[in-house]
Structure 1
Amino acid sequence: MSKKNRLVIRTIILVIMIAAIAYTLYANFTKDSRSKVSVGEQAPDFVLADLGDEQHKLSDYRGKGVFLNFWGTWCKPCEREMPFMDNQYNVYKDQGVEILAVNVGEPEFSIKRFVEKHDLSFPILKDKNQDVMKTYGVINLPATFLIDPEGNVVKVEEGELTEAKIQAMMESIKP
């Protein structure tokens, strides 16, 4: 191979590497402004299946308050808050407040085992490819979005919730 050909190949490789680095920097610096759902915005609609393969469309819950929680079975704070969520769901479900707990990309058998272990009664939705998680800009688990009866995000909370905090949150989105 001639020196000229090696120079051309090296130049092409260098250009590709510079483009990849530039794209990575751009993606990292703009990810927060790109997709994170903020308070005051309309909650992005989605359709996800539950463990019985029944479809749940967020917009079908208009007129109700929605406690939208993103979680994983491996997440200890998620596990600690689930029984509190279930207690409050049983209090508020007849008052127009719904919990939609979105599992982020885990196998169905793991989710089912977790739900059975904790005897959860609210809908557990499967976000197999983490598309909804990405749309909402969720990075850390657990993450909770409170959505009012008009479909607007009124609060975003990252981290573990106490039962008292969950109760106050449910009360705040009650129609």
Structure 2
Amino acid sequence: MNVDQVKANKGKKKRNRLIFRTIVLVILLTAVVYALVSTVNKDVTKVDVGSKAPDFTLEQVNKNNELKTVKLSDLKGKGVMLNFWATYCKPCEAEMPYMEKLYPEYKEKGVEIVAVSLDATELVIDRFVDQYDLTFPIPHDKNGQVMDAYGVGPIPSTFFINPEGEVVEIVVGALTLDRLEGYLKQIQPK
């Protein structure tokens, strides 16, 4: 191997190292930008007490309710208990009878209970609705867009919305009958 070939090999190695380092740097910068954008988007979509509840439209699952679709803005002027749940969630299952028990009374008082199902299929939701004879609106968030808009983490998660559309309380975890009734009274139209 002559001197020119040795210099050429060293030049190729330097160029290859430079290309490799550049690729690693681009990947790292992309990851940092992605992390920053994700963090900013999470902060923007999270709903806090005092903020306006994001509007949504979802198809109704239980056919025994007069609503075919549930659109939050159509419920303006009413108090709304917006509950996120799933059939596989035992604490969710535990609070459903309380919601059903209070629904007729509070519906008359201007409060709507809306239980957004996060289940994968409507078949399991239908069975659950039939099992507990649920009459309040149960829309299905098939692709999780409403869950994301509200920043829902653990379930059950419940947002209590006053008649003006403002979130006044957020509860993560199952509600007892007494606690549930207290929150419903809080969002009841005056």
State the TM-score, normalizing by the size of structure 2. Answer: 0.82
CA RMSD of aligned residues (A): 2.1
- Deviation of the 1:71 alpha carbon: 0.5
Give unpaired runs (5+ residues) of structure 2.
1-11
- Deviation of the 1:24 alpha carbon: 5.3
Match of 1:98 in 2: 112
Match of 2:57 in 1: 47
Once residues 136 and 178 of structure 2 are traced to their aligned partners in structure 1, the CA distance between those partners, rounded to angstroms, is 18
Match of 2:168 in 1: 154
State the TM-score, normalizing by the size of structure 1. Answer: 0.89
CA contact (8 A) 1:143 1:159 kept: yes
Give unpaired runs (5+ residues) of structure 1.
none
CA contact (8 A) 1:105 1:130 kept: no
How many residues align structurally? 174
- Deviation of the 1:21 alpha carbon: 3.4
- CA deviation vs aligned residue, 1:99-126 (integer Å, no higher than 9, x gap): 1100124211011111111111101011
Q: Once structures 1 and 2 are overlaid, which stretch shifts more, 3-12 or 65-74? A: 3-12
1:74 aligns with 2:74: no
Q: Which runs of 4+ in 1 moved over 6 A?
A: none
Choose the corresponding residue for 1:58, options 45, 48, 72. 72
Pair 1:119–1:9, CA change in 2 (3 A): farther
Match of 1:38 in 2: 48
Letter in 1 for 2:151: G
3-state DSSP of counterpart to 1:116? helix
- Deviation of the 1:9 alpha carbon: 5.4
Letter in 2 for 1:42: K
CA contact (8 A) 1:49 1:56 kept: yes
Match of 2:5 in 1: none
Pair 1:20–1:110, CA change in 2 (3 A): farther
- Deviation of the 1:30 alpha carbon: 4.5
Match of 1:17 in 2: 27
Pair 1:23–1:118, CA change in 2 (3 A): farther
Q: Once structures 1 and 2 are overlaid, which stretch shifts more, 59-68 or 48-57? A: 48-57
Bigger-Rg structure (1/2): 2
Once residues 122 and 18 of structure 1 are traced to their aligned partners in structure 2, the CA distance between those partners, rounded to angstroms, is 49
CA contact (8 A) 2:161 2:169 kept: yes
Identity of aligned residues (%): 44
Once residues 45 and 74 of structure 1 are traced to their aligned partners in structure 2, the CA distance between those partners, rounded to angstroms, is 26
